[in-house]
């Protein structure tokens, strides 16, 4: 998918790649972006030693040229202004930049809201299960923060209770965090710091103290712009996450904070569907 075929700035494309960049491929295993990751996946899938050497030493020289440290140039001003997005240990910049480096937040927020409004509603009972989440950049201050802190997604229980924030620090182990320990207003103010490696390290050390002792939200039906659909209401925060259906196994989420016009958008993919 490239700009020669369709725009990469549409909500539909950002649901595939939250960074709004190419290339992107969709395989039977799922969706991948980043050219280096795609190349390594395809080489592994074909199982050819000519494409991806089995020996770590033989792989080292190509990797050295593939991931040079000099390619990562981030100024202090960029980090302080929060224009970049940390994903893993890499720093990405939005492709929608105008003027003197100011992101087009208003237009993105409007476009994402129109897209969300166009989606079909979903019933709370249809959401029971484990879902992997990823943010969809929309000009919100929290864009990229959750991914940097290794957010996994959400879990919805049959009794309509929910684990609002699940994080994964070790393979196969999910930790539910209590949102009341991170007031949303403070989180928004500290968002630029939340996209740094230091924030990720500090969060990993404090995760035991932030762990939830039970479910932290509830699923119910809420109306957004005259359409009733499933929503998650936080226990101790003035937050409501509205949900709409993208397809059978994918949901779009829109986090609304009381008295705040900005909305944080994200995508949920059902884990059972990923095998």
Q: Where residue 250 sits, what CATH number does that domain have? A: 2.40.128.580
- Regarding whether 147 and 191 lie in a shared domain, the answer is yes
Q: What is the extent of the structural domain holding 34?
A: 11-71
Q: Residue 115 pLDDT > 60, yes or no?
A: yes
- Regarding whether 41 and 133 lie in a shared domain, the answer is no
Q: Is residue 116 part of a domain?
A: yes
Higher-scoring residue by pLDDT: 52, 251 = 251
Percent of the chain at pLDDT exceeding 90 = 42
- Regarding whether 146 and 44 lie in a shared domain, the answer is no
- Regarding whether 119 and 50 lie in a shared domain, the answer is no
Number of Cβ within 10 Å of residue 200's Cβ equals: 19
* CB contact at 8 A, 82 and 195: yes
pLDDT band at 184 (very low <50, low <70, confident <90, very high): confident
What pLDDT shows up at residue 180?
81
pLDDT band at 77 (very low <50, low <70, confident <90, very high): very low
For the ranges 6-15, 153-162, 194-203, 233-242, which has the lowest average pLDDT?
Answer: 6-15
Q: Is residue 98 part of a domain?
A: no
pLDDT band at 62 (very low <50, low <70, confident <90, very high): low
What pLDDT shows up at residue 267?
95
Q: Based on the structure, what is the number of domains in the chain?
A: 2
- Regarding whether 113 and 66 lie in a shared domain, the answer is no
Q: Could you give the C-alpha distances from 106 to 40, 85, 146, 206, in angstroms and in order?
A: 37, 18, 21, 35
- Regarding whether 237 and 113 lie in a shared domain, the answer is yes
Q: Is residue 223 part of a domain?
A: yes
- Regarding whether 113 and 50 lie in a shared domain, the answer is no
Q: Is residue 84 part of a domain?
A: no
Rounded Cα gap, residues 78 and 121, in angstroms: 38
- 3-state secondary structure string, 208-249? HHHECCCCCEEEEEEEECCEEEEEEEECCCCEEEEEEEEECC
Nearest to 165 by CA among 157, 173, 175: 175
- Regarding whether 110 and 62 lie in a shared domain, the answer is no
Q: Residue 123 pLDDT > 90, yes or no?
A: yes
Q: Is residue 79 part of a domain?
A: no
Tell me the CB-side half-sphere exposure of residue 116, using CA atoms within 13 A: 28
For the ranges 25-29, 74-78, 126-130, 202-206, which has the lowest average pLDDT?
Answer: 74-78
- Regarding whether 253 and 129 lie in a shared domain, the answer is yes
> pLDDT averaged over the chain?
77
What pLDDT shows up at residue 110?
87
Q: Is residue 3 part of a domain?
A: no
- Regarding whether 110 and 44 lie in a shared domain, the answer is no
Q: Residue 265 pLDDT > 90, yes or no?
A: yes
Residue finishing a domain among 20, 55, 71 = 71
What pLDDT shows up at residue 233?
96
pLDDT band at 96 (very low <50, low <70, confident <90, very high): very low
Q: Residue 88 pLDDT > 60, yes or no?
A: no
Q: Residue 27 pLDDT > 60, yes or no?
A: yes
pLDDT band at 256 (very low <50, low <70, confident <90, very high): very high
- Regarding whether 270 and 205 lie in a shared domain, the answer is yes
Rounded Cα gap, residues 74 and 84, in angstroms: 9
What pLDDT shows up at residue 10?
75
What pLDDT shows up at residue 50?
61
Q: Where are the beta strands (DSSP E) in 82-149?
A: 85-87, 90-92, 97-98, 102-103, 129-136
- Regarding whether 235 and 160 lie in a shared domain, the answer is yes
What CATH number has the domain bearing residue 18? 3.40.30
Q: Residue 43 pLDDT > 80, yes or no?
A: no
Q: Is residue 266 part of a domain?
A: yes
Rounded Cα gap, residues 199 and 206, in angstroms: 11
What pLDDT shows up at residue 61?
60
Higher-scoring residue by pLDDT: 103, 65 = 65
Residue finishing a domain among 71, 91, 116 = 71
Helix (H) or strand (E) holding 176: strand 173-177
Q: Residue 183 pLDDT > 80, yes or no?
A: no
Residue finishing a domain among 71, 89, 118 = 71
What pLDDT shows up at residue 150?
92
Model pTM score: 0.62
Mean pLDDT of 151-168: 95
């Amino acid at each position: 998918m490239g700009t020669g075929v369709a725009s990469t700035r549409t909500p539909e494309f950002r649901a595939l790649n939250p960074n709004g960049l190419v290339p992107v491929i969709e395989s039977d295993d799922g969706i991948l972006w980043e050219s280096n990751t795609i190349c390594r996946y395809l080489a592994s899938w074909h199982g050819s030693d000519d494409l991806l050497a089995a020996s770590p030493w033989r792989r080292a020289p190509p990797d050295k040229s593939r991931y040079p440290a000099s390619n990562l140039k981030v100024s202090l001003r960029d980090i302080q202004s929060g224009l970049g997005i940390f994903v893993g240990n890499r720093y990405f910049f939005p492709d929608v930049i105008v003027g003197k480096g100011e992101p087009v937040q208003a237009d993105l927020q409007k476009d994402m809201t129109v897209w969300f409004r166009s989606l079909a509603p979903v019933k709370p009972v249809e959401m029971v299960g484990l879902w992997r989440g990823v943010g969809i950049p929309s000009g919100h201050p929290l864009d990229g923060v959750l991914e940097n802190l290794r957010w996994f997604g959400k879990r919805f229980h049959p009794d309509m209770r929910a684990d609002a924030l699940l994080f994964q620090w070790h393979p196969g182990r999910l930790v539910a965090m209590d949102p009341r320990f991170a007031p949303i207003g403070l989180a928004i103010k500290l968002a630029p710091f939340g996209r740094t490696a230091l924030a990720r390290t500090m969060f990993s050390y404090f995760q035991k103290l932030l762990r939830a002792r039970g479910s932290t939200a509830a699923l119910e039906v809420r109306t957004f712009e005259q359409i009733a659909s499933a929503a998650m209401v936080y226990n101790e925060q003035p937050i409501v996450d509205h949900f709409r259906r993208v397809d059978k196994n994918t949901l779009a989420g829109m986090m609304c904070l009381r008295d705040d016009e900005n909305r944080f958008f994200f995508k949920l993919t059902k884990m059972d569907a990923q095998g």
